[in-house]
């Protein structure tokens, strides 16, 4: 098996700086905050362990992308705004955040003109556990007689945005009777969806529970 060829750190510094999950998450946390952070704050904001954050910060300090100030007992870090890649990295993270906001906005707009009780994202995206090949799980709650049309309307409305923003919408629909049944059965899927939900319109899923009532009741 042919081994990967080495790359020059001077020619290709992005490979060095962004070559690990921890480095990317630490740089993102510092970029989005914009000021001084302790290693504990970096760990919390980036979602990595304190030990991992500390090692990553030490490495990034050696590249001069991160600057450290303070004493050994009270050290804080920030991005070096004079680094030649600082502005470009800020732009990357801003574009990343803007894309996710645009996805949420597109899903929210997809119910324009519809009467829905709730629209929310659930599943792996809501839990921050999705991979590039996973769908964006979307649930709409509407009256039974309008549910099928609502689901189809949302799917059609998202077609162009999904292509432009590179996401895969998976739309499911529920009415109140479905929710009463799922809640009454303590269904694991419904429990997980309710806990993880990012609500874009209407009520939270756990506020829609109706016992012994029809969709129109």
Confidence of residue 125 (pLDDT cuts 50, 70, 90): very high
CA of residue 9 relative to chain centroid, distance? 31
Of 93 and 71, more confident: 93
> Is it the case that residue 26 has pLDDT exceeding 90?
yes
214 has pLDDT over 60: no
Distance CA 105, CA 35 (A): 29
- Mean per-residue pLDDT for 98-112? 97
CATH for 96-207 is 3.30.460.10
Domain boundaries of the chain, sorted by first residue? 13-84, 96-207
pLDDT of residue 212: 44
Distance, CA of 71 to CA of 36 (rounded, Å): 14
Which fold is adopted by the domain 13-84?
Arc Repressor Mutant, subunit A (1.10.10)
* pLDDT for res 213: 46
User: What pLDDT, on a 0 to 100 scale, did the predictor assign at position 217?
Assistant: 43
Cβ proximity of 9 and 16 under 8 Å: yes
How distant is the alpha carbon of residue 170 from its chain centre?
16
Q: Do domains 13-84 and 96-207 have the same CATH topology?
A: no
For 150, the token pair is: 């609502």
CB within 8 A of 3, min separation 6: which ones?
none
Res 114 pLDDT > 70: yes
| pLDDT bracket for residue 144 (50, 70, 90) | very high
For 168-208, how does the pLDDT look when each residue is reduced to its tens digit (9 = 90+)? Answer: 999 999 999 999 999 999 999 999 999 999 999 999 998 88
Tell me, what's the pLDDT at 202? 95
Q: Percent of the chain, pLDDT > 90?
A: 87
Residue 1 confidence (pLDDT): 65
């Amino acid at each position: 098996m042919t081994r990967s060829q080495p790359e020059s750190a001077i020619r290709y510094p992005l490979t060095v700086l962004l070559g690990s999950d921890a480095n990317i998450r630490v740089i993102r946390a510092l970029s989005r905050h914009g000021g001084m952070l302790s290693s504990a704050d970096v760990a919390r904001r980036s979602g990595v362990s304190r030990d991992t954050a500390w090692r990553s910060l030490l490495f990034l300090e050696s590249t001069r992308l991160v600057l450290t100030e303070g004493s050994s007992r009270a050290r804080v870090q920030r991005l070096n705004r004079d680094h030649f890649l600082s502005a470009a990295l800020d732009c990357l993270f801003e574009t990343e955040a803007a894309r996710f906001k645009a996805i949420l906005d597109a899903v929210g707009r997809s119910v324009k003109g519809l009467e829905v009780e709730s629209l929310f994202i659930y599943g792996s995206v809501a839990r921050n556990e999705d991979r590039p090949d996973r769908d964006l799980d979307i649930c709409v709650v509407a009256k039974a007689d309008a549910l099928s049309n609502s689901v189809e309307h949302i799917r059609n409305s998202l077609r162009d945005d999904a292509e432009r923003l590179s996401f895969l919408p998976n739309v499911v629909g529920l009415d109140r009777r479905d929710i009463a049944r799922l809640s009454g059965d303590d269904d694991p899927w419904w429990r997980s969806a309710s806990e993880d939900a990012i609500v874009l319109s209407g009520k939270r899923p756990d506020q829609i529970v109706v016992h012994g009532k029809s969709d129109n009741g």
